[in-house]
Amino acid sequence: MNKFAVAILTFFAAAALGAPAHATDRPPQFVAIAFDNCTELERWQELSDFAGELNKDADRIHFTFFVSGINYLSNDKRNLYEAPHQRRGASNINFGGSAEEVEKRIAFINDLHGRGHEIASHAVGHFDGRAWSAADWQKEFASYADLVDNAGRNNGLPESVKLAFPTSAVTGFRAPYLSTSPGLYAALRERGFRYDTSSTSEASLWPEKKDGLWRFNLADLKLHRSKRHTLSMDYNFFIVQAFGLDNSSTRVQHRDEMLETYIDYFKANYSGNRAPMNIGHHFFNYHGGAYNEALKAFARAVCGLPEVRCTTYAGLADFMDKLDPATLEAYRKGDFEHHAAPDIDISNAITRSKP
Ligand SMILES: [Zn+2]
C-alpha cells in the first residue's frame, strides 16, 4: 500500500471512531499567588489561618513566599551581611527584628512549608541589582544560603532553631524591584534554581523556558471597566489607582476594582488558552489592607472551582516540566476544547473576607 492510501485509510478510521476536533486535552487553570519580602509576623499568622481555613476539608490553595534573606537575621546581627557594593550591615529594608521574632518567623515558615506551601527567594537586602554582574549575584546568593542554613547559630539561638529545609530546596526567585541583569540568570542556573518570576508580559502568555529557567511572568492587566493598565501586583495597583497614597475614602472602591480586575483576568484565561495566572502581593498592607482583602476574596471565589489549581510555583514548574513541546504549543494556541468561565458570586466573597 502506498503512503497516500495509508493516509486515506487513517483519515476514515479516525472519522469512524469520532476522533476529537482537538488532539490535546484542556489544561487546568493554574493560579499562582505569591508574596514578596514576608516580614510581618501578624501577616504570617493571618495567611496561615487563611490557608488553613480554605484547606480544612480539601486541598484548595498553596502559596509561594518570596522571602527576603534579612528575615532570617536579627537587627543586632546585621553585620553578618554584606551586599554587593554596599557597606557591611546595610539593607534597603528592615532586618528581621529581635532574635525572638526571627525564631517565631522561622516557626511559621516551617509550619507552612510542611503544609505544602513554597518558600522561595527574594534575595537578601532588597537592593536593586540591575547593574550587578553574575559574581555580584553569586555573592548575594551565598549570603542567602548562609542565612537559611545557619539561621539558629547566626542569631545566637539554639542549634535546634533551624529551617526545615536546606538552601538547595529554595529553587524559585523574584528580584527586588523586578530589577534583573544578564548575570542574574547565569547565577540562578549555577545555583540550581528552577524558575524566575521577575519579568512581565501579557496575561495570556504560557510560560517559556529560557537559559534553563521557567519564566513565570507577572501580567499586564487592564483595570476593570477602565482603559488604565497595571501589573498583577498590589504595589502597582496602589500606584495606578491611588498614586501610592493611602486614602480611607477610596479603599473600598479600589479593593473592589482590584477584585473585579482579577476576576476579569481569571475569566479571560479560564475560557481562553488557560495560561497560568500570576499574582504578586506583599505582606505590607498597602491602602489600609484593601488589596489583601481583595486577594482573599478572589482566592475564596476561585480556588477549589473545577479545573482550577491554586498552586505554588514549584507545583506549576512540575507541571511544565512534564509537558512535551507539541502539547505546550497546542496550549499556547488554545488548541483544545474551550470551556466557558463559571459564574462567580463576588459580593459573597467580599462580605466573607471582611475582618
Ligand atoms: Zn520586593
Taking residues 36-56, what's their average pLDDT?
97
Is the C-alpha dihedral spanning 327, 330, 336, 338 positive or negative? positive
Distance of CA 172 to the CA centre of its chain: 9
Specify the residue for cell string 535546634.
160
CA of 93 to the centre of ligand 1 (A): 9
- In whole angstroms, give the CA distance from residue 269 to residue 87: 46
Confidence of residue 244 (pLDDT cuts 50, 70, 90): very high
Give whole-number Cα distances, 155 to 38, 83, 108, in Å. 18, 18, 17
CA of 77 to the centre of ligand 1 (A): 22
CA of 127 to the centre of ligand 1 (A): 9
- In whole angstroms, give the CA distance from residue 308 to residue 316: 12
CA of 265 to the centre of ligand 1 (A): 23
Taking residues 173-198, what's their average pLDDT?
97
Domain definitions of the chain by residue range? 31-353
Q: What is the pLDDT of residue 16?
A: 42
Contacts of 17 (CB under 8 A, 6+ apart): none
CA of 120 to the centre of ligand 1 (A): 13
CA of 84 to the centre of ligand 1 (A): 17
Q: What is the pLDDT of residue 6?
A: 45
CA of 129 to the centre of ligand 1 (A): 12
Contacts of 163 (CB under 8 A, 6+ apart): 72, 106, 109, 110, 113, 119, 148, 149, 151
Residues 265-278 pLDDT 10s: 999 999 999 999 99
pLDDT at 5 over 50: no
Confidence of residue 20 (pLDDT cuts 50, 70, 90): low
pLDDT at 15 over 50: no
Taking residues 156-181, what's their average pLDDT?
97
- In whole angstroms, give the CA distance from residue 116 to residue 129: 30
pLDDT at 181 over 70: yes
- In whole angstroms, give the CA distance from residue 98 to residue 43: 17
CA of 178 to the centre of ligand 1 (A): 8
Q: Are 96 and 130 in contact (CB under 8 A)?
A: no
Q: Are 66 and 172 in contact (CB under 8 A)?
A: yes
CA of 198 to the centre of ligand 1 (A): 10
308: its cell numbers: 482550577
CATH superfamily of 31-353: Glycoside hydrolase/deacetylase (3.20.20.370)
pLDDT at 47 over 90: yes
Size of the chain in residues: 355
162: its cell numbers: 533551624
CA of 107 to the centre of ligand 1 (A): 22
pLDDT at 353 over 90: no
CA of 122 to the centre of ligand 1 (A): 7
Taking residues 316-338, what's their average pLDDT?
97
- In whole angstroms, give the CA distance from residue 243 to residue 158: 45
Contacts of 116 (CB under 8 A, 6+ apart): 59, 62, 312
Q: What is the pLDDT of residue 22?
A: 82
E strands present in 27-159: 29-37, 64-67, 118-121
Q: What is the DSSP string of 219-273?
A: EEEEPTTSS-EEESBHHHHHHHHHTT---TTTHHHHHHHHHHHHHHHHHHHHHTT
Q: What is the pLDDT of residue 168?
A: 97
CA of 200 to the centre of ligand 1 (A): 15
Q: What is the pLDDT of residue 12?
A: 43
CA of 214 to the centre of ligand 1 (A): 20
CA of 204 to the centre of ligand 1 (A): 24
Q: What is the mean pLDDT of the chain?
A: 93
CA of 311 to the centre of ligand 1 (A): 21
Q: What is the pLDDT of residue 355?
A: 47
Q: What is the pLDDT of residue 10?
A: 43
